[in-house]
Amino acid sequence: MKTQMGYFASIEQYRPMDALEQAVRAENVGFDSIWVDDHFHPWYHTNAQTGQAWAWMGAALQATKKAFFSTCITCPIMRYNPGVVAQTFATLRQMYPGRVGIAVGAGEALNEVPVTGEWPSVPVRQDMTVEAVEVMQKLWESKEPVSFKGKYYTFDKAFLYTKPDDKVPLYFSGMGPKGAQLAGKHADHLMTVSAPPSVLKNVTIPNFEKGAREAGKDPSKMEHAMLVWYSVDADYDKAIEALRFWAGCLVPAMFKYKVSDAKEVELHANLVGHDMMKDNFMVATDAEGMIKEIERFKAAGINHFCLGNSSPNVNLGIDIFKEIIPAVTE
């Protein structure tokens, strides 16, 4: 499968209009896809933003010409009703044919707790996500009103009058073995998040492919997408420290426990060492170094990169890909 290069335009690290300008620039440089975070609270408190992803996507799609767009990642189970999620992405896909998808996952306390006060266990949230995906797909595909009585959601003759002409591509977040297997069973493609290549190659991707085969799918036709942050600067230490904003993502407890205060997450992020960031993120001083970093993850099986730009000079961090993209995709 051809390697695709995606740009993660963060509206929690950058102001929404600045992220939109990055998206336009990234498309012009040659990125295939644009991804946006769908969060309520950010992963770092200092100098943070949290724009609304769906509002931003509409503006960014109109401002660009051909790039594929998706969230990374939408949690369709608590602060959002899955019916409204289905309606939103059906609308966007109809307006921008072939250019809109969605990545779903079981959520983070940062985003769900502040507006619901609830934080079920990981297994419960995974079950909720599977049920939400089931009803979303029914709403997208059905030519008749949908009545559904599940464990978590009830729909009474719900019908989407606005639908796209084709399928909304669905990516599913898989980080641990079970999540990756669920992604293979219930989605079109895998979306995982920064992890060492050894974990991707030996745990994440094999479990994703196992789930796909169990569902009667051909894994070779399914993308292995990964959100991973990068930083480029002539000063290596400056480049790696610029990734501090996302270091909280490397603390497993932030995904498991009811931690919803960005200030608390920042305290944990500030304790993460450079060695851990270097293993899980991409750090380079020039284009050649970034090509080597990308190849490190390609060798582990990733074929669609969702690259979060945390470079000290953001525009340099985009423009350098004029040289990188041809080298890693041809």
Among all residues, which ones are annotated catalytic? 39, 108
Distance (Å, whole) CA 3 – CA 226: 12
Grouping H, G, I as helix, E, B as strand and the rest as coil, residue 285 is coil
Distance (Å, whole) CA 57 – CA 75: 16
Distance (Å, whole) CA 1 – CA 236: 32
Residues contacting residue 174 through CB under 8 Å, at least 6 positions apart: 180, 181, 182, 183, 184, 190, 191, 192, 204, 207, 208
Q: Which of 80, 94, 73, 237 is nearest to 164 (CA)?
A: 94
Backbone angles phi, psi at 185, to 5 degrees: -75, -40
User: Is the torsion defined by CA of 291, 293, 296, 302 positive or negative?
Assistant: negative
